[in-house]
Structure 1
Amino acid sequence: MQEQSAAAPDPHPATDPHPATDPDPGSDGVGARAGAGAAVISTRALTKRYRGGQLAVDGLDLTVPAGSVFGFLGPNGSGKTTTIRMLMGLIEPTSGTAEVLGRPMPRSARTVLPEVGALIEGPALYGFLSGRDNLLRYDAADPTADPRTRHARVGAALDRVGLTAAAGKKAKAYSLGMKQRLGLAAALLRPRRLLVLDEPTNGLDPQGMREIRTLVRALASDGTTVFLSSHLLDEIEQVCTHAAVMARGRLITQGPVAELATGARGRLVVTTPDPADAARVLKEQGVGDVVVTEDRVTGEPPDRDLAELNAALVTAGVRVRGFGVERASLEDAFLALTGEGFDVAG
């Protein structure tokens, strides 16, 4: 039996005509703390300095809303993995605070972690065991798991990640993508209020990536908050509702994905059968970063009336079939905010 919540009952229940109920009466009250509108993850001035003075995370103030699919972005060395390890209680912060599901970490790790599924830096597997037997071992290590329903849980988790047919194969014979799926299955053995995934689509083919994205959306619709670290910016745009951008250990920005790109300028796009002439004219008109790709010419729009720019193209004899400014992508916003490219080893 799990530890009961230390929170006292409301002495004035009449003030709330619709009191919240914990969907798991046997839980310790973590669910009540992380209800709708609450922050499932919250850090304040979270800092990690390693021996030798290396500052990996510098004063991080992060807020992950309940029910969100939260993308965590940053180039190599930005502090993403260090942050995740502090949130999961794997390492101690140097200073600052972190709360997960409304409880301080790492002090409350034994209470919080049964409510959290995690896949961090790739799954740890026994290569000589089958996929099914690996999951049975994971489930047996959970003191809150009912052994009478263990095989049913493992079967359901394998089915959910598409590994039922390969369940009897030894893990050492799995491809990288299959190992990622098995690690995700381990994180899904029990219902979780929070799922923390570090590069969950690593090694998957396009079909596998689509399946994982669909699974993440389904988990979110069921009420699970998903905290997703990924180097695939288009993946973040497709699946995440919120995101944060890290660079050099500091938080650059955070918020709804739809709003993050608003600070970045879009790209001017000219479609023409005369790309070389169009590129020349655009450069003469002050357009920067001009790139030619077959019948498309793109560049940074200048601070001037775009109608004048279009007229200059036509006057120069360029046949313009399309002219406009494309909406800035999350990648454009990332580059504008950090001034850096994106490194997959972040």
Structure 2
Amino acid sequence: MGNSSAAIETRGLSKRYRGGQLAVNGLDLTVPRGSVFGFLGPNGSGKTTTIRMLMGLIEPTSGSARLLGSPMPAAARTVLPRVGALIEGPALYGFLSGRDNLLRYDAADPTADPRTRAARVTTALDRVGLTSAAGKKARAYSLGMKQRLGLAAALLQRRELLVLDEPTNGLDPQGMREIRSLIRELAKDGTTVFLSSHLLDEIEQVCSHAAVMNQGRLVVQGEVAELAANARGRLAVTTPDPQAAARLLKERGIADVTVVGEDRVTAELPPDDVELADLNAELVRAGVRVRGFVAERASLEDAFVALTGEGFDVAG
């Protein structure tokens, strides 16, 4: 083991808690340098436990992990200064202002030059959109503002790797958009970003690569575009004659035909050698009144359902 082009690499990584619960089971993960890597799974699938092992916060029961080419937790002292992290919400001093929290975080970093501390803190506050609230006490911050302040702490120094556990938790839609665009910016600057999420559309919008966890096991990993492409898209037919449409689609050997409500039929997209326009014409010839005929691209959600055989608990 020791793939230098990987920012994170695990082999057989497992964690069994007292009482026998296996939270992470034989995880083989490879996160390419320079990627925005989405670590995806319903709450309780082992994501946070994995991240805590990667950062050396808890010891694995078995297996190994490398961060930026060095073994964890053995090399934690040399590796962690090159890594920014936001895990399970930031630890903040409620009685200090946002700015003073960051000054204290920066002062705790032995590699940080005290002469440029104030400038670093100002830049970090600006990047996460907290400049106007910098003087407010952290206890008066909303959940979303605390999340931003935690992200600012992770960005005080230029990092090779940024590890974010549910970074948009508690943010409103506007805040989510801002954090996503910040993640894209960081990736453009060459930082590898590893982010866990239970929000499929978040992963689809910002990540180049992803891994899917389910019940402590890795289900699949790869490029986001490929993962979605491996799931078949859906065909949606809107018609006042749904039963007749469903019957004809089934006769043509099309899979997973479902009547939805009184005027809609969905099915798996047929193989590429079936011309959709011909299928539409065939429905019309059979007397089916077609109001809408749409081929929908497969999403990451379709891929997840195809891989795990179950829906994705986005409510978490």
Aligned counterpart in structure 2 of residue 283 of structure 1, from 238, 241, 246: 246
Aligned counterpart in structure 2 of residue 116 of structure 1, from 78, 83, 91: 83
Verify: 1:138 aligned to 2:111, yes or no.
no
What aligned pairs does 1:202-217 form with structure 2 within 5 A after superposition?
A: 202-217=169-184
Aligned to 1:225: 192
Aligned to 2:19: 52
Aligned to 2:59: 92
Give the stretch that moved more between structures: 122-131 or 292-301: 292-301
Which one-letter code corresponds to 1:290 in the other structure?
T
What aligned pairs does 1:38-49 form with structure 2 within 5 A after superposition?
A: 38-49=5-16
Is the Cα–Cα contact under 8 Å of residues 3 and 9 in structure 2 kept in the other structure? no
How many residues get paired?
308
Give the stretch that moved more between structures: 204-213 or 187-196: 204-213
Verify: 1:195 aligned to 2:158, yes or no.
no
Verify: 1:299 aligned to 2:262, yes or no.
no
Is the Cα–Cα contact under 8 Å of residues 76 and 345 in structure 1 kept in the other structure? no
Which one-letter code corresponds to 2:199 in the other structure?
L
What aligned pairs does 1:132-281 form with structure 2 within 5 A after superposition?
A: 132-270=99-237, 272=238, 274=239, 276-277=240-241, 279-281=242-244
In the TM superposition, what whole-angstrom CA distance separates every residue of 1:155-187 from its partner, at most 9, and x where no partner exists?
A: 100000000000011111111111111110000
| Distance change in 2, residues 1:291/1:80 (3 Å) | farther
In the TM superposition, what whole-angstrom CA distance separates every residue of 1:32-90 from its partner, at most 9, and x where no partner exists?
A: x997xx00100111111111211111111100000000000012321111110000000
Aligned to 2:56, what secondary structure does the other structure show? coil
Give the stretch that moved more between structures: 137-146 or 82-91: 137-146
For 2:261 and 2:208, locate their aligned partners in 1 and report how far apart those are by CA, in whole Å.
32
Q: CA deviation at 1:148?
A: 1.4
**Percent identical across equivalent pairs?**
79
Q: CA deviation at 1:133?
A: 1.0
Which one-letter code corresponds to 1:281 in the other structure?
A
In the TM superposition, what whole-angstrom CA distance separates every residue of 1:275-316 from its partner, at most 9, and x where no partner exists?
A: x42x32233233635364897643334679556753453145
Aligned to 1:104: 71
Q: CA deviation at 1:263?
A: 2.1
Aligned to 1:320: 290
For 2:115 and 2:174, locate their aligned partners in 1 and report how far apart those are by CA, in whole Å.
35
Aligned to 2:124, what secondary structure does the other structure show? helix
Aligned to 1:18: none
Q: CA deviation at 1:231?
A: 1.4
In the TM superposition, what whole-angstrom CA distance separates every residue of 1:101-155 from its partner, at most 9, and x where no partner exists?
A: 1100011111111000000111111111111111111111111111111111111
Aligned to 1:288, what secondary structure does the other structure show? coil
For 1:269 and 1:154, locate their aligned partners in 2 and report how far apart those are by CA, in whole Å.
52
For 2:92 and 2:188, locate their aligned partners in 1 and report how far apart those are by CA, in whole Å.
29
For 1:174 and 1:280, locate their aligned partners in 2 and report how far apart those are by CA, in whole Å.
55
Unaligned runs of 5+ in 1: 1-32
| Distance change in 2, residues 1:293/1:156 (3 Å) | farther
Q: CA deviation at 1:320?
A: 2.4
TM-score, structure 2 as length reference: 0.90
For 2:123 and 2:267, locate their aligned partners in 1 and report how far apart those are by CA, in whole Å.
50
Aligned to 1:343: 313
| Distance change in 2, residues 1:151/1:293 (3 Å) | farther
Give the stretch that moved more between structures: 243-252 or 65-74: 243-252
| Distance change in 2, residues 1:261/1:131 (3 Å) | same
In the TM superposition, what whole-angstrom CA distance separates every residue of 1:171-204 from its partner, at most 9, and x where no partner exists?
A: 1111111111111000000000000011111121
Aligned to 1:332: 302
Aligned to 1:23: none
